[in-house]
Structure 1
Amino acid sequence: MTGVNEVQVVAAHQERATLRVGDMFLKVDADQVRADIEVAAMTSAPIPTPRILWRNPPVLALGALPGAPLGCLGQPSTASRAAWTAAGATVRTLHDAPLPPAPGRSPEQTAALLDSECAWILEREILPAELVARNRRIAESALRPWKPVFIHGDLHIENDTVTGVIDWSEAASGDAHFDLATLTLGHRSHLEDVLSGYAIPVDRTRIHAWWSLRSLLGIRWLIEHGFDPATPGCEVDVLKVQAGWGDSGRGGVRG
């Protein structure tokens, strides 16, 4: 490649890394099953996704999508309400598509995982027991049976641009409310904008439940992969807001 002045590390941890080289993203993933799922999801998704340039395991090369993300983690979004509404319409299009090959977790599997993650947090005294208990109660509404749809599985604001959606490694069949919650977790003030674009009735209580559930499930993974869930605007802040311990109007909280 010519005209490339630097290599940008977009994300890196023990499981995988993403590098940006010019207008190309290089995803290095030792788990080829997960990489297969990502390629299959991008191929079948009925919405704009990165173009697959080439694949030479463990590396997957993707073209960059134009446009800017809806926001940055831990900071207020500068995107317009129209952009958030368009994101909601895009998510609806995805959820209306035929199911992808990956089955995703069942409600029973999710409940068992939540129990084990809460126990891990409490045993190590990472969070106050009352904070965990309050969010565990809120999360229960997300564990009711759901009608599976094609979900992105990691639809936080940095994966959603005005023109398309990136990072499909967690794509599977699952609860539509999970994607809506993940997209709006750090920017709950834009929930109504997203739902305006989504254009069909949803259970807002279930979205709130996924905010708590996703945050509780993320604590151990973040710590074990070298991230701090207590960084301002991250998972611990989300749990505090959910429990009424923080400022529910804070625009930069994410999960």
Structure 2
Amino acid sequence: MDEVEVVVAHSERATLRVGDVFLKVDVDQARVDVEVEAMALAPVPTPEVLWRRPPVLAIAALPGATLGRLGGPSTGSRAAWAAAGAAIRKLHDAPLPERVGGAGRSIVALAAELDDECESLVTNGVLPAGLVARNRQVAEAALRPWTPVFTHGDLQIAHVFVDGGEVTGIIDWSEAGQGDALYDLATFTLGHEERLDDVLAGYGTEVDLDVIRGWWSVRSLLVVRWLTEHGFDPFAPGCEVDVLRSRM
């Protein structure tokens, strides 16, 4: 019998792997609904849904491998990174889904959330005030009007699988919906700034790099405390705190 591998587990959800099957356990069925619907709509390769019995969603494993992970070395050829950029562009060019995803929050709401989180990080001594202030300044570039596109909403490097120069699938669609295209690009290249040019070569259009940098700061500031409280280490080399330090 195959061993059970715990891929990720925290108080909100858990993902287990048994052989070629991933079992996602999530008590928030609305989040699972979004994931299943988004995978059906997305014009890019996604995992096959094998069955669903709340609170468990079973999906098939994808061929290939990811291009790395946050805090680790990036892998894959320049062609593979460009292929990922092309797949992201194909998603962004697709018809809009009905739902507004997490990346589609209003500018006012996002700025308010960011200000509250920055205050908490400093007040509780999680991060130095100067580091937070500098990144809040950088983050301002992302807080501008954008044209909504079909976004993944949580396009971490670990969520995109490639084989050679071909994208074989994109996983974890629970945050998908209408959002900012540059948020997806920033999330995918978070901690791997050296690969941004390759991704944009495949994406095929010019983007505002200050906005990308702004989203790196936004995402990192917003998740440091959550990660710490849920057993992850944003202070590990190459992870979120290092991303914030790189803006100094």
TM-score range, shorter chain: over 0.9
Matched, 1:164 2:169: yes
The letter for the 1-side match of 2:206 is P
Matched, 1:199 2:204: yes
Q: Which runs of 5+ in 2 are unaligned?
A: 163-167
Residue in structure 1 matching 2:193, options 188, 192, 211: 188
Partners of 1:37 and 1:11 lie apart in 2 by: 19
Higher strand share: 2
Q: Normalization by structure 1: what TM-score?
A: 0.92
Q: Which runs of 5+ in 1 are unaligned?
A: 244-255
The letter for the 2-side match of 1:49 is T
1:220: Cα distance to partner? Answer: 1.8
Partners of 1:72 and 1:200 lie apart in 2 by: 25
Where 2:125 maps in the other structure, the secondary structure is coil
The equivalences for 1:33-52 within 5 A come to 33-52=30-49
RMSD over aligned CA atoms reads 0.9
The equivalences for 1:33-182 within 5 A come to 33-104=30-101, 105-162=105-162, 163-182=168-187
Answer yes or no: is the 8 Å Cα contact 2:191–2:240 preserved in 1. Answer: no
Query: Percentage identity across aligned positions?
Result: 65
Partners of 1:34 and 1:231 lie apart in 2 by: 29
Q: Normalization by structure 2: what TM-score?
A: 0.95
What's the counterpart of residue 230 of structure 1?
235
* Cα shift readout 1:203-249 (whole Å, capped 9, x = no counterpart): 11100110111000111211221212111111111100122xxxxxx
Which stretches of structure 1, 4 residues or more, deviate above 6 A after TM superposition? none
What is the aligned residue count? 240
The letter for the 1-side match of 2:214 is A
What's the counterpart of residue 22 of structure 2?
25
* Cα shift readout 1:103-156 (whole Å, capped 9, x = no counterpart): 131222211111111111011011000000000000001000111111111111
1:5: Cα distance to partner? Answer: 2.3
* Cα shift readout 1:57-112 (whole Å, capped 9, x = no counterpart): 00000011101101122111121110000000000000011122321312222111
